[in-house]
Amino acid sequence: MSYPLIKFRFALFLSFSLTSSSSLPPLPVSSKRYAPSSSSTSKATPSDLLSLLGSKHHSSGVNPVVARELKSCFKFLVPFSPVEQPPHRKLGFVRSKHTGPSWRKQNELIWWPPEAVLELARLAVDSGGDPGAIHRLLDPTVIPVPDCEGSKEERCELTRTPYGRRFICEELNLYLQFLFELIADRGPSVGLDVTLNRFDLFHGHLFLAEDSGRLGILFHAKEYPSYDKQVFPYNMGFCQRGSNVTYGDSMNLRNILWLAPDPGDSDDSWVAPGVLVVLDASPDGIIYRDLIPDYVKFARTIYEDDLGHVAVDVNYLNVGSETRNYQIFIC
């Protein structure tokens, strides 16, 4: 979890504490903020959400009432196709310099990614959800994070550390870049007006699901909405200065989830394809009600550590001075 997000949690908590006419209910002492759903309750949990995006076997174990309400909050950027087995294992990652992958090819790259991504997904599960399995695949070379769209001038620290790393396998770095670009490209199709910049979409949190070890990334868009006395009266520090992100309905769609294909028991079997979905946190929905802590409901933030064990932050930053130059920094 990056330092700006920690500051964001504190800033929002402090703001609510100062402006609320009544105190918020205390947070549970346990780090587990949620209990598994059962037939006697309709409260959703992060595990329910992940199960519904997995195999038919896993999704069938979710309370039907919870399942119906959660599904109403899913806005898929790529059609959801819970087939049992990929049509072929090795797609390869080929991008045209001028046009990029076709629409169908983009879908396939989510459902059944390149071999390197499939191997990473299986490693995550086989390791028992150990973040160290991810860390060991990073190139030890340290890459200083340069200025991003004037961040240095504003004394804004966008990343967890002032340096980043990349995967040894370049295909993995290219795939991360592909995910950011695809979200920005397809977001408007589901009502998410998103831009790749340091105020909006620039980072995600790579995690391994707690129960299964399934590999995923929770992206956060609308990271630094502009201060507005009427609609967003929250001071989020240096990184908010100069923001052109307007607080509005798109905030409901700021949580975007990618899940890698879910491996089966044998080396060549898969029980669920990859997923790319926007999680609608509108106030009348179950995600807002059950999966967003009270102290950040105004920001509509789902926290990555509620979904599993966080391994790294993935940042996609425009570090060009005169022309666009987006690069991956893993922190």
Q: Is residue 290 part of a domain?
A: yes
Q: Is residue 27 part of a domain?
A: no
Partners of 315 in beta bridges: 203, 329
Q: Is residue 268 part of a domain?
A: yes
Q: Please state whether beta strands 215-220 and 203-209 pair in parallel, antiparallel, or not at all (unpaired).
A: antiparallel
Tens digits of residue pLDDT in 253-283: 999 999 999 998 888 889 999 999 999 999 9
Average pLDDT for the chain: 85
The secondary structure element, H or E, covering residue 15 is: helix 3-19
Residue 218 in 3-state DSSP? strand
Tens digits of residue pLDDT in 129-144: 999 999 999 999 999 9
Q: Provide the pLDDT confidence category of residue 239 given band limits of 50, 70 and 90.
A: very high
Given a contact cutoff of 8 angstroms between Cβ atoms, the answer to whether 107 and 79 are in contact is: yes
Q: Is residue 50 part of a domain?
A: no
Count of structural domains, the chain: 1
Rounded average pLDDT over 191-215: 97
CA distances from 311 to 131, 141, 215 (A): 5, 18, 10
Residue 44 pLDDT > 50: yes
Q: Tell me the residue range of the domain where 169 lies.
A: 3-11+74-330
> What pTM value is reported for the model?
0.85
Q: Is residue 56 part of a domain?
A: no
Tokens matching residue 140:
């030890």
Q: Is residue 169 part of a domain?
A: yes
Q: Is residue 99 part of a domain?
A: yes
Q: Is residue 191 part of a domain?
A: yes
